[in-house]
Structure 1
Amino acid sequence: MTTMSKQTDEVLDIFKQLNKIPSFVSARILSETNNKITIQSVWSQKNLERLVKQKFIQESTFDTNLQSLVQNFPIEITSELMSSISADEKLKAILREVTVNSKTKQFIEIWDKQHLMKSYDLSVYNIHEDIYNESTFCSFCFSLDNKQLLYIAEKKLPKQESYYQPKPESKTKTDKFENEKELCQGTKYIYRPDWGEQLIAKHRSIVVILNIKEDTLVPITSIPDEYFPAQVIWAPDNNSIVGVAYKLKPRYLGLYACTNRESYIFHLKGNDFRKLTTDGLSCTTPRFSPDGKYLIWLERDISPAHHHVHRLMYLQWNIVKSSNILVNLIKNYIVIDHYKNFYGLYNPSLPDRCWSNNSKHIFLSTPQRFNIKSYIINLETKNITEVDNFDNSSLSVIDVKNNFIAFINVSVIKPPQLIIAKFDNSLSNIGKLCFIDVTKIFNIPNIENFINEQTEAVYNTNEPVKNFNFTYFGTKKAQNQSTPLVVALHGGPHSSYCNTFHINYALMVCLGFGVLQINYRGSTGLGGDNIDYLLGKIGDMDVADCVKAVNLAVNKYPWIDPKKINLYGGSHGGFLCAHLSAKYPDKFRAVVMLNPVIDIAAMYSSTDIPDWCCAESGCSFVKNVSNEHENYNELLLKMLKHSPILHVDKVKAPTLIILGSKDLRVPPFQGKLWYNKLLSNNVHTKLFIYDDNHSLKKDEVEIDNIINSVLWLIEHNDK
């Protein structure tokens, strides 16, 4: 057996071990009955033999003192797209996708605790297209009386046909007339805008009510056509709805990972549609308090950065119709209860249930520097209290019921674990909770030999923003200069590494690499000013931060081999891989880049987020890219100035490029351009193109690209 074959076998063996660790999907706390409480969690796990993810439910039962009683065997639910349990927990609705007679269909099923009560083949009703199940838009909730189910679907438009479409001659004149009055001849190939990357075919949404008693589907038609409704919920009167309305523009801009699209919180009662928020904002995830007296939501100002710090807003329902700020935008940080620093809210969503029993406290989580932290916010005093974590891991609120709180606890070194705690507002420190394990910890192989350590980096300059951070994940100790390092670069650029588990990085560490995750300036969780400071400086400031982080890590961890420093990143992380390998050609041993941004000027005309190209290059920010305020030539020159393609001829490091052929965010020609330039310069390179989008998360795609990435790094560091 060759050396490479042995290495491949070792990679596959460890990869199989890591894939036995399930990924967390969701969790729900069920009501107390007979002094018992049940936590129902949903997980997914790759089945490598079938090249699919299998989804399953796990139920765990505790007494009211949170002593474990029973844990049942998992039940597979792979065909379920969404589910919802009624407030009284008597009914469960399931959206299921199945193939019948070679056709994929959606069904809504209504179950009680004994049997399947009703099943609706939605294609029979011919009311709408597919129901949305993406978190950006979706809704799926029972009315308080259990008689109706509220959801969002793609609006059904008249059938589009070309001017000549052969039809059966046997049709009667009446049949022909009835069919053709629903046709739009000559429109088969007309362009219909959608919301771009990972939200294709989302053209126009419609709110629908399923009347379970009468077996009818009733579309709501009183929302003005200029809005795209999403995330609808029932109002406390059980007869009106509240939701998010995206303002439709002549040109849709990509919405995935972009929180700067104009949207409103609205209230619809009968035909009375009212906006509850003002212009110039992006709003999301409205949530009512248990007593129905308060409505909260998250919002941010519409500004150039695609993700930014948010406000938490509230209003008193049916009393005062002006909103109030609970948590404001944080430019740097503020000091909260118990002298903790708080850097603002960055999660673009709230848990479905996030309130204490008395409707006075809100529980939520958000990235903070290099972790995810959880907070308790007092509605009356506006005090913010950090939930004390028992270690340096990330802690996220998942569900709240009767003052029981379900959390996910996770780190780069520890896969997700579901834990639970009981909230007691009588304590002097309400953030000091007693956590109980719901699920066991799945350890990665040889975990005792690894560390997860964060470092704060600060420039000794007069710059207004001069701090960032990085995390080292890898061996605790080894011989000097014996460990190759993978420098991991996140995309966005306005996102962050938040001390969460990634199977690709775990695999690298298990195979002997150290991993350095860098939150360069412009990352989230560091204050709003930190985000804005990167605008117009990409390719310079973020590159400088990455080089500084590498140098600090090499000095801090003497076992890192400075001659075996590698780069790994996707999207803007791929952009940084390109810049770093070109500007520092002798510093990096090998490169893996996924869907990299290479030429911003060329990308501008083909991406679903052309405003990103303007904003990050320091051009004038425009809310509608069809109305540029700058000379077009000057615009392109600014974009080109920040692009790594200008430096490609300096690259020496062997480079693996991984692309998705259906990527709408960073079109695949960007990576191909880099590949062809490296080929012409005789730089060792390889290109993989998968039938996937920007995320490269299809089951068989993710498996293949992770293994190929790791083998590439091994090949070029095993010398």
Structure 2
Amino acid sequence: CESRVLYVAEWKRPTVESSDSASSPSAVDSTEDGHLFWDDWGEGLTSKSVPVLCVADVGKGTVTVLQGVPPHVSPGQALWAHDGQGVFFVGWWHEPFRLGLRFCSNRRSALFSLDLEGNCECLCGDTNSVSSPRLSPDGCFLVYLQGQVFGPHGQCLNLCSELHHWTISVLVDVVQRPKKEDFAGLYEALPPRCWAADSQRVVFSSARRNWRDLFVVDRTTRRFTSTQRCDHSGYPDTTPHVCYSFQAVAFLPSAGLEAQVSWDPLDEGRLLGVIVDILDISPTPQEDNPEYSGLDFGALLVTPNHLPSGTKVPLVVFVHGGPHSQFFTEWNVTSAGLATLGFAVLMVNYRGSTGFGQDSILSLTGNIGSQDVKDVQAVTLDPNKVVVMGGSHGGFLACHLIGQYPDFYKACVVRNPVINAATLLGTSDIVDWRYSCMGLQYSYDQLPTPEALTTMLQKSPITHAPQIKAPVLLLLGGKDRRVSPHQGLELYRALKSRGSPVRLLWFEEDGHSLDRVDTQADCFLNTVLWFQQHLHLH
């Protein structure tokens, strides 16, 4: 009706003791003495602890807090029901305590419906993780993503559908091991308006090897189709190719004709001055994972477009974090900037990256620090003027690389790197991942054992610190909740004590991503200067 706005807000914490449980969403949180600790949802959601659903009436100028949300869940991702007399929302379990939510698709949660009278109903099972509820235009169908609890925090997801009589069906299943040109699974949030006007088809993007493709799934036939991706000229992408920046629009054809979608550029486009080469890599027999044998991986090589053929340029090995994320064949400001300045940039989607199936993701469990390190090193063949950079788990890998191959890399830049998983255990907002990535089971009541701590230490780059020769630039966020800045300080002190060249930049107000605009500019400038200095470039 466009007269009311639904939104999520943080509940105002009481400032005096109160026995009135109705004054708070949770009776257990109904007292506050100024020093009480409030558990929150971690990195990027600091101080977000007790969310509530609110409705603002535009005409009346009033705000109402919706009642009836179960006290053991935190509501979010809410949307109106078709008749405007109720809402749907995702509820995340926050007992016994909250774990970091950002970038984690493995938190226990469920889909709920709530009417304006306060009657709440759980619409799905309560043993999975769910996200991205989207209601069809006719109001009869609800789709959402579903995954597993714990384990890899980035995983291949199911696309599920709730019918108007609340029966669940799976529209898109988890893909264990896709063939090279096939659909590789669903790994990212659904677009806010993902339904076609016919309430029959759902449009979404997802990773497929080194690409991000656009797909259409029909809820009745469960057939999904990839729309044709285009370059600036309107023809399918080729490899290698010159990169353009442009905008395009397409109209969705009738059901069954989605593969014939035609894209029309909205502007002339702009030549970006870089060339992207897409690589497919198979591990050697010695590096094959016997439990997940036959997996391959990919990489993108970004090179300057203005250099004469055959010219050799310094190589920056750029390692993504996660580890369950990936680099796409799309605009990356860091790689484009480095290429413009005369560097080649190698972006490796090692085994465990998204877009290659669930088997690839699971293959890295218990093998971090070895399988991912060897994958990156296997692609980096030319030892002439090679440097490495990465953030978070990418920093973890970068430090492993300069420690395991000390004569290969000439310099290193890392952002908020994981250095010692054993000492990170008690400081990260996603303590479960410290166990899962090591191949260990996690539960809320988990206590560290000597064996677990030994495994974490042995798989960490701090063990290779005595062998590091490459000059290291550390970029640390003072308010990082995911990877404590003391991780970087641990490496800094280890290198300083051995006389190794190291420099540390401390960004007091930044979190894990170091994503404030001035911070990004500062980091990029110092990264380039560090590489130029230690490669002896003018």
- Asked if these proteins are the same fold (TM beyond 0.5), I'd say yes
> How do residues 521-536 of structure 1 correspond to structure 2 at under 5 angstroms?
521-536=351-366
2:243/2:275 contact within 8 Å kept: no
1:413/1:501 contact within 8 Å kept: no
Quick one: percent identity of the two aligned structures?
31
Equivalence for 1:578: 399
2: CA distance between counterparts of 1:536 and 1:214? 57
2: CA distance between counterparts of 1:569 and 1:301? 28
Equivalence for 2:170: 325
Equivalence for 1:693: 511
Spell out, residue by residue over 1:393-443, the C-alpha distance to the aligned partner (whole angstroms, 9 max, x if none): 9xxxxxxxxxxxxxxxxx9974753321112216x6422211122345243
Instruction: Tell me, yes or no, if structure 1 residue 257 matches structure 2 residue 103.
Output: yes
1:619/1:638 contact within 8 Å kept: no
Change (3 A) 1:667 1:160: farther
Query: By how many angstroms is 1:157 displaced?
Result: 2.2
Equivalence for 1:59: none
Change (3 A) 1:460 1:505: closer
1:412/1:473 contact within 8 Å kept: no
Aligned AA for 2:2? N
Equivalence for 2:206: 366
2:14/2:32 contact within 8 Å kept: no
Change (3 A) 1:334 1:296: farther
2:353/2:361 contact within 8 Å kept: yes
| Alignment partner of 2:314 out of 484, 496, 504 | 484
| Alignment partner of 1:645 out of 462, 465, 471 | 462
Instruction: Tell me, yes or no, if structure 1 residue 711 matches structure 2 residue 529.
Output: yes
Instruction: Tell me, yes or no, if structure 1 residue 609 matches structure 2 residue 413.
Output: no
2: CA distance between counterparts of 1:617 and 1:392? 44
2:9/2:51 contact within 8 Å kept: yes
Spell out, residue by residue over 1:320-361, the C-alpha distance to the aligned partner (whole angstroms, 9 max, x if none): 3220000001101169xxxx41110001x1111112221111
> How do residues 65-84 of structure 1 correspond to structure 2 at under 5 angstroms?
none
Spell out, residue by residue over 1:351-378, the C-alpha distance to the aligned partner (whole angstroms, 9 max, x if none): 1111222111111101111110000111
1: CA distance between counterparts of 2:246 and 2:206? 18
Spell out, residue by residue over 1:440-480, the C-alpha distance to the aligned partner (whole angstroms, 9 max, x if none): 52433xx1xx3101111012436324311111000356575
Query: By how many angstroms is 1:225 displaced?
Result: 1.1
Larger radius of gyration: 1
2: CA distance between counterparts of 1:416 and 1:198? 30
1: CA distance between counterparts of 2:131 and 2:533? 46
| Alignment partner of 1:352 out of 179, 192, 205 | 192
Query: By how many angstroms is 1:621 displaced?
Result: 3.0
Change (3 A) 1:255 1:236: same
| Alignment partner of 2:218 out of 361, 378, 388 | 378
2: CA distance between counterparts of 1:184 and 1:271? 20
2: CA distance between counterparts of 1:186 and 1:353? 41
Equivalence for 2:283: 459
2: CA distance between counterparts of 1:204 and 1:526? 37
Query: By how many angstroms is 1:250 displaced?
Result: 2.3
Partner of 1:354: helix, strand, or coil?
A: coil
Equivalence for 1:292: 139
Aligned AA for 2:204? L
Instruction: Tell me, yes or no, if structure 1 residue 634 matches structure 2 residue 464.
Output: no
Query: By how many angstroms is 1:240 displaced?
Result: 0.8
2: CA distance between counterparts of 1:152 and 1:312? 24
> How do residues 298-313 of structure 1 correspond to structure 2 at under 5 angstroms?
298-313=145-160
Aligned AA for 1:209? V
Query: By how many angstroms is 1:627 displaced?
Result: 3.1
2:241/2:277 contact within 8 Å kept: no
> How do residues 590-605 of structure 1 correspond to structure 2 at under 5 angstroms?
590-605=411-426
Aligned AA for 1:325? V
Structure 2 segments unaligned to the other structure (5+ residues): 18-28, 234-239
Equivalence for 1:437: 265
Instruction: Tell me whether 480-489 or 599-608 shows the greater mean CA deviation.
Output: 480-489
Equivalence for 1:510: 340
Aligned AA for 2:355? G
1: CA distance between counterparts of 2:14 and 2:416? 37
Spell out, residue by residue over 1:557-591, the C-alpha distance to the aligned partner (whole angstroms, 9 max, x if none): xxxxx320110100000001110001100010111
Instruction: Tell me, yes or no, if structure 1 residue 215 matches structure 2 residue 61.
Output: yes
Change (3 A) 1:481 1:638: farther
> How do residues 104-123 of structure 1 correspond to structure 2 at under 5 angstroms?
none
Spell out, residue by residue over 1:576-612, the C-alpha distance to the aligned partner (whole angstroms, 9 max, x if none): 1110001100010111111110000000011111111
| Alignment partner of 2:7 out of 123, 129, 151 | 151
2: CA distance between counterparts of 1:210 and 1:200? 25
Equivalence for 2:127: 280
Instruction: Tell me, yes or no, if structure 1 residue 548 matches structure 2 residue 378.
Output: yes
2: CA distance between counterparts of 1:608 and 1:412? 41
Partner of 2:195: helix, strand, or coil?
A: coil
Change (3 A) 1:186 1:150: closer
Aligned AA for 2:70? P
Equivalence for 2:33: 187
2: CA distance between counterparts of 1:649 and 1:275? 54
Partner of 2:520: helix, strand, or coil?
A: helix
Equivalence for 1:39: none
Structure 1 segments unaligned to the other structure (5+ residues): 1-144, 162-182, 394-410, 555-561
1: CA distance between counterparts of 2:311 and 2:411? 17
Equivalence for 1:37: none
Aligned AA for 2:161? Y
Partner of 2:314: helix, strand, or coil?
A: strand
1: CA distance between counterparts of 2:428 and 2:78? 29
Partner of 1:495: helix, strand, or coil?
A: coil
Aligned AA for 1:275? C
Query: By how many angstroms is 1:159 displaced?
Result: 1.7
1: CA distance between counterparts of 2:161 and 2:495? 54
Partner of 1:508: helix, strand, or coil?
A: helix
2: CA distance between counterparts of 1:614 and 1:627? 10
1:245/1:263 contact within 8 Å kept: yes
Change (3 A) 1:439 1:201: farther
1: CA distance between counterparts of 2:260 and 2:231? 13
Change (3 A) 1:205 1:389: same
Partner of 1:497: helix, strand, or coil?
A: coil
Spell out, residue by residue over 1:249-293, the C-alpha distance to the aligned partner (whole angstroms, 9 max, x if none): 222111111110011111112222111111221111111111112
Instruction: Give the aligned length.
Output: 512
1: CA distance between counterparts of 2:31 and 2:258? 64
1: CA distance between counterparts of 2:525 and 2:407? 26
Spell out, residue by residue over 1:595-649, the C-alpha distance to the aligned partner (whole angstroms, 9 max, x if none): 1100000000111111111111122233x2x334xx6211111111101111100
Aligned AA for 1:454? I
Under a length normalisation based on structure 1, what TM-score does the superposition of the two structures give?
0.69
Aligned AA for 2:5? L
Equivalence for 2:21: none
1: CA distance between counterparts of 2:16 and 2:151? 37
2: CA distance between counterparts of 1:184 and 1:549? 56
Partner of 1:580: helix, strand, or coil?
A: helix
Aligned AA for 1:484? P
Equivalence for 2:42: 196
Query: By how many angstroms is 1:185 displaced?
Result: 7.9
Equivalence for 1:67: none
1:414/1:441 contact within 8 Å kept: no
Change (3 A) 1:479 1:434: closer
1:228/1:246 contact within 8 Å kept: yes
Equivalence for 2:24: none
1: CA distance between counterparts of 2:449 and 2:203? 47
Change (3 A) 1:452 1:479: closer
